[in-house]
Structure 1
């Protein structure tokens, strides 16, 4: 096992280190969700936390980590008699994003159960994480069925495994820690609320601090054991402080004034439910214990709000989590200050004092090694603002200047400023025809690990979902040859059958948006953006990947490569300007190229192409082709190329006004998909129902439907 990077050697990231240590002091806080860009020491800090946790007293030989003083009466390895046990280090168990359900909750050995009559159970990761840490890297990419299991275990403190009439239950109380990059997609609200605290992290913009990060990392990679030895003293002092804070925690008094401050803060920010109040109370108590106090002060409540409320406040679908600190101060200022208690040993502030990683044996940014390693752990909550490099809550707009702007385009014409999107609405269901085998989601029909049973097959690997009837039917004809003596069926491995199930999958929804001058006519673009925003919200709820292509002037651009971050797509859409001619063929060819590459990367995820346009084609753009072909002919050729590739498509017709050319209907025919108006896209519209792309595909294949050339669904 490699030597982990020391927790106290992490540079900066004050809020992250404080949130992790508060959970070490009081596991009842409920875990931490760490949000931030890649390369910001998220995983490094979390993995290093386990070394600071006190050892766990467990029953010897128990695979489920029962406490000797209060063993679980339902433990599968029990019953245990109360008595002395043994100490072991606290575990940090990592849950891989691609783990199976059986790996998470454990599995019964079906083969032994059927062939030998043995009730054998193999514990999963939830059993390993009991009384420890369950860490999920890239938690926002976790499959829905695993999220459901985590939610059940977190709510009940136990894991239940049901397999064909056999039931196993064991305790599963763990500290849930997750890290994620928001650019790769958001987290389901149900799981988001299960994290007690959340912190936003970002790389420092201070050159001196960045140099120190590189210096320490290189020193660690050159000699991990030696580097850890140099930080052993700091690690020991922080560990001792965690133990002392845990011992002090039961003595901390949470007065009525602090409780009123917590309640007023949660009510002022309109958070849903009461979990926020409880988490804030536990966090404020842990902050007081960490500071060595037995009373909760206003600064504890303020810091608890900054850690516990940003991901719980009521917000619009694509708003970044955050908290208005001015509003927080106004709420807390409405309460009288409690009598301050003098600090027994005030510590002078210095440029390198304030938390683990701000100095050390390798020298801080100023080159001066620390003299009192213990002073380097995160101090009281008042020290939290020492990390100027971390963006404050709700400061996502600061990233806007980094968004690449479209280059000047030939024949672009006068560019019009980006307009705001109209209010989003609930859209009708759009899905891909056929039966897929893609990622878990909620859009199109697919063969999945969960859902209704539709048949049986021989297992391709480890048997997970037994089809009992099919297994008996496979074994029945061979009972005489196998010497059955009447005591039961003789089952062999070749008889076992796996249940096939049908559920829903997530798709790749690729938007191709017309941003030409014709779309700006009669202020149409605001309604168009509102429609696309509504479809993006629908894609977020159905766990799709999304991509965004825009075309105007002479080119088509991939504004957003396929990603799980619907927020990023909404941000790019909001900044989209309009103007210039309409290179429809270029937009369709760009879509063909993007889908070709994505098919190689993720062949099981089926695409759904959504073309948002009025159907005009006034420029060939960079589509190439024969010089004697008109832009309209090139667009038709590009559309038929997509249809030949089996791409399911929908055309959102943006044409308006009394005179309608019906060009979007012609494009829909070339793509082999339906056309739907902006009004018909609404779920509450009376114009019609967009049930499935399959309807249009079936009508195209029918010999009696050739006269219905428009195939408009509206």
Structure 2
């Protein structure tokens, strides 16, 4: 991406990048990605309303214009056009004529199809002239610009993988339905996500060059500044843009200078050795982390106006390039990884300097009409994407330790289900932490569905292997099945009077769509008995471990999960439907046990949750996993009410599994089997949920 003519004011309607307050880390990551085009993009993780989208759009307004071959749909550079460009015939000399366009900002919606992203057949050309021609997609539109994916964690994995491949190689390749196309696709990839809505798989997370966390400031003065600037912008966007025009121009020049200088930054071999030590001690998989850290450190040196790599460049680059690459369990917290990285940086690089390194021309100018410090040509200060200061260098707090409970003797099993005395179990309420997750049984729905892309149950999906072509009347069809369409038309060409060399004569009845079968993600609802009958036998820790293992399986299969617990006199929605396994573990560990067993209330809560989620997301089929011994001891007619609630769930057509938590010793009441029969559920002893345990010698 060659930058020319930096703009003097932000693009119309966009909030100026330099006017954003309090997002220093994200601002630095975006600027470094713009400076070092081989870094591999930026992933921004943060809560809602932290100006993630505003900042990305503001960055695009700083990148000026690019020169383009006239008429080229792939934005080829006239100075070095792509010889493999599908529009290569348009690259003929045209008396030095070039087009100038703003650096493109392409926003990829979550619901985009593979054809829209990678490109597709040009249907008009195919149907009218019988010619197979390629229609460029969003990857082509983003060439030499910025490709922005909001909520990237909600994008199907196969699309994310394709985006990251293109970002890493600078090329996009399409091989399907008789089309073989390759074109340039160099862009700054920026993805944003809210971790509470689910994380990316580690394999995809590793493909992002840098990761920055965005969080709203808790300082009242900073929040007041955000409110003031946003309201000023909404009242008069043009006047607000003019107010920050000098800062925007200075920042655009700084990015352009750093891009020109990054290739000449000297990287001593000792600096590479330090980077290698940091990555090795941090247990980073593969070599991508080492390479990205080295590239980001060089970009930071160029950004700071230096021509030799320093320890501080390595420190800044490592903080952005490594925390998400550490080999970790999905339930580990980001805070623990950041704390360990800081300790390694201190050991390898020494203590951080007490003051940030000086930058060129540090004296700020003041706008008399505004009162805000205006940046000099080489130092934007709002936001100040520079080295973290001493406050940023402090270790993040250690994650809170969960409570542990004292061992409790295992009482003899009861001879019959008895309701405990009033108030029993209340004083004995306690928490049990889950143990180390094990390999869990894979539960899936029996029937083939038509849901969102995932890795659990069989379903007709938009991706996957093509089973056959179907007519447009079949609602399961997706996209155009070219081969099946041509095959349907081929036998009728003689009757339609088609001569040799003439285009294929097609009719509407020939059209076929692809019926594809793959795997879908489900809504897995865990209904967990947390009553005294579970805790008294020290079974709750085992139950939580089983739930944790099933949550890990759900995470790997791209499911949403929800956890409902029931104890004493009520049911509690412990975890609303989410894809965040870190949040799930934290809340599961904090769940207390004790009291009576309100099984009916728990089943009713699960029923209501499934109905609500089905209304919001009808394409995601639910799977209910009940962990209980089947007892119902709260309220009058406890067991009949529980059976009635189970029947209502069965009436929704929900697939269910009941994990029987009854102790295998003593008298077995087999109440969980009765519950499974009413639900129409698969019944399994809790111990069998651990696949590894079943393979051990002597396992029942």
TM-score w.r.t. structure 1 length?
A: 0.86
Task: Give the alignment partner of residue 483 of structure 1, picking from 497, 506, 513.
Answer: 497
Q: 1:193: Cα distance to partner?
A: 1.1
Cα deviation code 1:89-142 (max 9, x no counterpart): 211111101001111011112453254222332110000111111110000000
Seen in structure 2, the aligned counterparts of structure 1 residues 525 and 84 have a Cα distance that, compared at 3 Å, is same
Does 1:382 pair with 2:397? no
Does 1:330 pair with 2:346? yes
Q: Distance in 1 between matches of 2:31 and 2:61?
A: 12
Q: In the alignment, what sits opposite 1:271?
A: 284
Q: Distance in 2 between matches of 1:250 and 1:484?
A: 60
Output aligned runs, 1:547-626, within 5 Å: 547-620=562-635
Does 1:541 pair with 2:544? no
Q: Distance in 2 between matches of 1:345 and 1:240?
A: 13
Q: 1:59: Cα distance to partner?
A: 1.4
Seen in structure 2, the aligned counterparts of structure 1 residues 369 and 685 have a Cα distance that, compared at 3 Å, is closer
Choose 467-476 or 573-582, whichever is displaced more.
467-476
Does 1:634 pair with 2:635? no
Q: 1:601: Cα distance to partner?
A: 0.8
Q: 1:315: Cα distance to partner?
A: 1.6
Q: 1:143: Cα distance to partner?
A: 1.2
Seen in structure 2, the aligned counterparts of structure 1 residues 343 and 600 have a Cα distance that, compared at 3 Å, is closer
Choose 448-457 or 202-211, whichever is displaced more.
448-457
Cα deviation code 1:457-494 (max 9, x no counterpart): 22369972315246533663x54552234557522233
**Contact 1:140/1:180 (<8 A) preserved:** yes
Seen in structure 2, the aligned counterparts of structure 1 residues 392 and 136 have a Cα distance that, compared at 3 Å, is farther
Q: In the alignment, what sits opposite 2:677?
A: 669
Q: Distance in 2 between matches of 1:635 and 1:56?
A: 68
Unaligned runs of 5+ in 1: 401-408, 621-626, 689-713
**Contact 1:412/1:554 (<8 A) preserved:** no
Q: Distance in 2 between matches of 1:67 and 1:637?
A: 69
Q: In the alignment, what sits opposite 1:369?
A: 372
Task: Give the alignment partner of residue 647 of structure 1, picking from 647, 654, 662.
Answer: 654
**Contact 2:125/2:133 (<8 A) preserved:** yes
Q: Distance in 1 between matches of 2:357 and 2:644?
A: 80
Unaligned runs of 5+ in 2: 1-10, 404-421
Task: Give the alignment partner of residue 511 of structure 1, picking from 504, 508, 526.
Answer: 526
Aligned residue for 1:519, secondary structure, equals helix
Q: 1:687: Cα distance to partner?
A: 8.1
Task: Give the alignment partner of residue 109 of structure 1, picking from 113, 116, 122.
Answer: 122
Cα deviation code 1:221-264 (max 9, x no counterpart): 11112211111111001111112222222221111221111111
Q: In the alignment, what sits opposite 1:66?
A: 76
Q: In the alignment, what sits opposite 1:624?
A: none
Aligned residues: 656
Q: In the alignment, what sits opposite 1:710?
A: none
Q: Distance in 1 between matches of 2:361 and 2:152?
A: 40
Q: In the alignment, what sits opposite 2:67?
A: 57
Q: In the alignment, what sits opposite 1:147?
A: 160
Q: Distance in 2 between matches of 1:649 and 1:51?
A: 52
Cα deviation code 1:63-85 (max 9, x no counterpart): 11112222111111004357663
Q: 1:675: Cα distance to partner?
A: 1.4
**Contact 2:177/2:482 (<8 A) preserved:** no
Q: Distance in 2 between matches of 1:228 and 1:155?
A: 34
Cα deviation code 1:606-660 (max 9, x no counterpart): 100001111111114xxxxxx5xx2111111111111122111101111224122
Q: 1:18: Cα distance to partner?
A: 0.8
Instruction: Give me the CA root mean square deviation.
Output: 3.0
Q: Distance in 2 between matches of 1:142 and 1:372?
A: 38
Seen in structure 2, the aligned counterparts of structure 1 residues 491 and 681 have a Cα distance that, compared at 3 Å, is same
Q: Distance in 1 between matches of 2:564 and 2:343?
A: 39
Q: Distance in 2 between matches of 1:252 and 1:161?
A: 36
Q: Distance in 1 between matches of 2:344 and 2:390?
A: 15
Q: 1:678: Cα distance to partner?
A: 2.1
Q: 1:213: Cα distance to partner?
A: 0.4
Seen in structure 2, the aligned counterparts of structure 1 residues 578 and 512 have a Cα distance that, compared at 3 Å, is same
Choose 225-234 or 557-566, whichever is displaced more.
557-566
Q: Distance in 2 between matches of 1:360 and 1:666?
A: 77
TM-score w.r.t. structure 2 length?
A: 0.87
Q: In the alignment, what sits opposite 2:414?
A: none
Q: Distance in 2 between matches of 1:519 and 1:398?
A: 23
**Contact 2:462/2:478 (<8 A) preserved:** no
Aligned residue for 1:382, secondary structure, equals coil
